[in-house]
Structure 1
Amino acid sequence: MARRRKKSLSREPQLAVITDLTHDGKGVAHIEGKTVFIRSALPEEEVEFIYTRKRRQYDEGNLHQVIKPSPLRIDAKCAHFSICGGCSLQHLSSDEQIKQKQKILLDNLQRIGHVEAQTVRTPLSGPHWGYRRKARLGVKYVEKKGKVLIGFREKGTSYLADLLSCEVLHPTVGQRLTELSDLVRSLSCYQAIPQIEVAVGDSSTALVFRHLEPLTDDDIGKLVDFAKKQSVDIYSQSGGPDTITPLWPAEPELFYSIKKYEIKNYFLPTDFVQVNAEINENIIPQVIAALDCDKNDHVLELFCGLGNFTLPIAKHVASVTAIEGEASLIERAKINAKNNNITNVDYYVANLMEDVKSLSWWTSKKYAAVFLDPPRSGAEQVIPLIAAKKIPRIVYVSCNPATLARDAGLLVNEFGYTLEETGVMDMFPHTAHVESIAIFSLKKKGK
């Protein structure tokens, strides 16, 4: 049977009126009854766009020209915004960005979860530039350009953008991309370095160079010289995470502080930490207040990671039972608890995507509240277990409004909880990423 040929896309600009904004920052238009998602277009704009893909249910396109701009449109600060995929919303004011994210959260809760919050919190905002302390930067030598590119992918492609700087990365890295490019180009294996992992702590910046070919002594010397000159920590990585090795200094100390609670957390460059230090510092008190617990209460924490929330919570309650699926993170969490003289945390390793209701930590205590900060896939598997245990209060921090909405629907519509409050935190300004908090309470019988 002959394969059907794909129709070639017209390269002629098409007219559209933008009516809405998607969760990932694309303008929404409707042409001849079909939805079109147009990159970089904003609501209330008349634009010309060029089709990039046609699908059965919807089409996609790139902005060609703004004919009538939205009053919300501003000039992007970054010179690379039009090509770099690291940001998608710099053409929208910061205040409007957070309004759109709040709208996306509430729309998801209503459309997917069929729930509404009793109270919508004022959005939590922080720094808009130079905030990003964690990133994985692509690295590629491009012969036609005669240079090494370092940064994020171009919008809508797999190619690396040609960046001189990045306005959202912490300036110790974001303003040194040219120097990093020159460094990589000087190495013998410059064509075999696919990425650099970035992690910024309170007093140091770590750069992990992934290399597919061995480093020579000369390469190591150049990396160490760069580390000393630029005051950064340099690591090499020849394979998996267990091959990460510090080159300079020999014993680096990478940590961040939670100043309000006098806590210092040590971490490895590849560990997950909240990307925005100031927002993280401000979320934690909100979580503690929402848990509404005292020194007589026991709290369960799921997906605890390194203990970012665990240790501050532990200072306010009788005990915390903290669960994480990755054993290495639990080991570092225990060390952090010991270093901070916190002794009322019990840590356990468990796969929370499996049935855990027979495990000792699940059955041994009566919990006044549960706090969870799951990955993007959400917490669908553990929601019924929380409900079966009738834990009266749930505080849920989410990095994906769709899975939060799904889980909220389960809690409210199937298990008798009330969604008391919700709101967004601007963890990733200028991107479509939506971080949010939701607070649930178990309805009392007869209400």
Structure 2
Amino acid sequence: MSPVALIESLDHEGHGVAHVEGKTVFIDGALPFETVTFNTYRKKPSFENAQVLRILKESHLRTTPRCPHFGICGGCSMQHMEFTGQVAAKQRVLEDNLARLGNVKPQMLLPAIYGAPWGYRQRARLSVRHVAKKGGMLVGFHEKRSSFIADMTECHVLVPHVAQQLPALRQLVAKLSIFDRMPQIEVAVGEWVTVLVFRNMEPITPEDEAHFKAYADQWGVQIWLQPKGPDSAYPLYPLDAPPLSYTLPEFAIEMPFRPTEFTQVNHAVNRVMVERAINLLDPQPGEAIADMFCGLGNFTLPIARRGARVLGMEGSRQLVERAFEGARHNGLAHLTDFAVANLFEMTEAWLAQLGRFDKMLIDPPRDGAMELVKSISASDAPSRIIYVSCNPATLARDANVLVNVKGYVLKGAGVINMFPHTAHVESIAWFEKP
């Protein structure tokens, strides 16, 4: 007989959390307030991972998934949960991490940032594989907990004009001479052009090129090829397409980018996030501000637009070069400077050499910014730090240092629902020096 569990909450990956016979059980497909039976697929001494079998009592948060591939495709994990419930669950994950891992509590909860629940994804990496048993070419995301590619014919989180190309992309790759040597297609949607980057592990033939050109003309996209690493990507056709870019209208900024460079997946929510971060930071003319992990300058250029002097630091030389180009493109080169630096190896002496900053914005990858926050001098610290995070656990860890070691106050924190229907939690936190 299958065990029964009462679901108490969701974890940071969207699994239902229950306690059964003194052990924590994380149950895929279960929602808070539900009573379910489950089947365990991984046992550890202190916890188990399981899959829901039957729902004995259904949550008021449960809804019918929109996509027929939900439950198989690993692209989404929360379509079975009502949209506003997803946002609330992510807020609770953030609060729990701050309290449990960071020993901190924000003075206020910032309003959640969210946008359209469907058709939001403007960046994607689609896997490609020929699987004879499934009828030929597969193009899509991986299945849940698997290296197999989901047999997808539709997707409701990709922007619609890309999602409707999924069957056509399968047909295109099947025609190519290197159909079995093309493992992925990267999608990048800009303001004026949509780029599809095909990872070709062998050179294409003239016939392949003709197929690509016909596809580009039919669907109104630009085709790029990537024979080796991301830096090797180049446009194939058409060569006169407008450059990729996204805009931040609130700051009159256009950000050019290459299709293999990191940009936010959800451009609409990114605009609101940048506006929130800049309003919290409140840059003033004459202030010196540091933008750590600056990337292309997503926050650097809006800070400069407000009149402050900004130093952007980033580990990738290519991104720093693109940030310089973006500053020149937007007429902000006189207020910005950029430097290549491994911020995961920051020291207090190294940070002090950069000079004093009135304020700081930190937007690190999932690993967080531990060495950076440890390096902030207690005597000459920025008066305000805005921290944009894509991992609530590392945000909480770093907040512990900022509040309990460096003497900052956590004025506010809130979630950013950058990836609806997934368990991914982005957030923003505001630290102030008393």
The alignment's TM-score, normalised by the length of structure 1, stands at 0.93
2:208 is aligned to 219
Q: Are 2:249 and 1:259 equivalent residues in the alignment?
A: yes
Q: Are 2:186 and 1:194 equivalent residues in the alignment?
A: no
CA drift at 1:56: 2.0
AA matched with 2:304: A
- In 1, the alpha carbon distance for the partners of 2:308 and 2:433 equals 21
Name which of structure 1's ranges 212-221 and 350-359 shifts more when overlaid on structure 2: 350-359
- Report if aligned partners of 1:172, 1:205 keep a CA contact under 8 Å in 2: no
Q: 1:346 aligns with which of 304, 326, 337?
A: 337
- Report if aligned partners of 1:35, 1:58 keep a CA contact under 8 Å in 2: yes
- In 2, the alpha carbon distance for the partners of 1:81 and 1:330 equals 38
1:3 is aligned to none
The secondary structure found in structure 2 opposite 1:382 is: helix
- Report if aligned partners of 2:125, 2:185 keep a CA contact under 8 Å in 1: yes
- Residues 115 and 358 from structure 1, CA distance in 2 versus in 1: closer, same or farther, beyond 3 angstroms? closer
Q: Are 2:43 and 1:54 equivalent residues in the alignment?
A: yes
1:331 is aligned to 321
- Report if aligned partners of 2:285, 2:308 keep a CA contact under 8 Å in 1: yes
- In 1, the alpha carbon distance for the partners of 2:176 and 2:308 equals 54
Aligned residues: 431
Q: 2:26 aligns with which of 37, 40, 60?
A: 37
- Report if aligned partners of 1:52, 1:61 keep a CA contact under 8 Å in 2: yes
1:402 is aligned to 393
- Report if aligned partners of 1:19, 1:43 keep a CA contact under 8 Å in 2: yes
Runs of 5+ consecutive residues of structure 1 not aligned to the other structure: 1-11
- Report if aligned partners of 1:49, 1:62 keep a CA contact under 8 Å in 2: yes
CA drift at 1:221: 1.3
Runs of 5+ consecutive residues of structure 2 not aligned to the other structure: none
Q: Are 2:383 and 1:392 equivalent residues in the alignment?
A: yes
Deviations 1:87-115 (A, max 9, x none): 11111111100000000001000000000
CA drift at 1:218: 0.7
- In 2, the alpha carbon distance for the partners of 1:53 and 1:201 equals 42
- Report if aligned partners of 1:387, 1:411 keep a CA contact under 8 Å in 2: no
Deviations 1:154-176 (A, max 9, x none): 11222111111110011121221
CA drift at 1:391: 1.2
CA drift at 1:128: 0.7
CA drift at 1:362: 4.9
- Report if aligned partners of 2:347, 2:371 keep a CA contact under 8 Å in 1: no
Deviations 1:287-312 (A, max 9, x none): 11111231121111100000111111
CA drift at 1:13: 4.2
The secondary structure found in structure 2 opposite 1:353 is: helix
The secondary structure found in structure 2 opposite 1:386 is: coil
AA matched with 1:185: A
Cα root mean square deviation, aligned = 1.5
Q: Are 2:400 and 1:427 equivalent residues in the alignment?
A: no
Q: Are 2:301 and 1:311 equivalent residues in the alignment?
A: yes
- Report if aligned partners of 2:348, 2:376 keep a CA contact under 8 Å in 1: no
2:94 is aligned to 105
- In 2, the alpha carbon distance for the partners of 1:79 and 1:146 equals 19
- Report if aligned partners of 1:236, 1:246 keep a CA contact under 8 Å in 2: yes
The secondary structure found in structure 2 opposite 1:169 is: coil
AA matched with 2:293: F
AA matched with 1:243: S
Q: 1:440 aligns with which of 417, 428, 431?
A: 431
- Residues 160 and 210 from structure 1, CA distance in 2 versus in 1: closer, same or farther, beyond 3 angstroms? same
2:287 is aligned to 297
AA matched with 1:409: N
CA drift at 1:15: 2.9
Percent of pairs with identical residues: 45
AA matched with 1:367: F
2:359 is aligned to 369
- In 1, the alpha carbon distance for the partners of 2:173 and 2:142 equals 18
The secondary structure found in structure 1 opposite 2:201 is: coil
CA drift at 1:64: 2.1
CA drift at 1:224: 1.5
CA drift at 1:350: 0.9
- In 2, the alpha carbon distance for the partners of 1:354 and 1:139 equals 37
- Residues 387 and 92 from structure 1, CA distance in 2 versus in 1: closer, same or farther, beyond 3 angstroms? farther
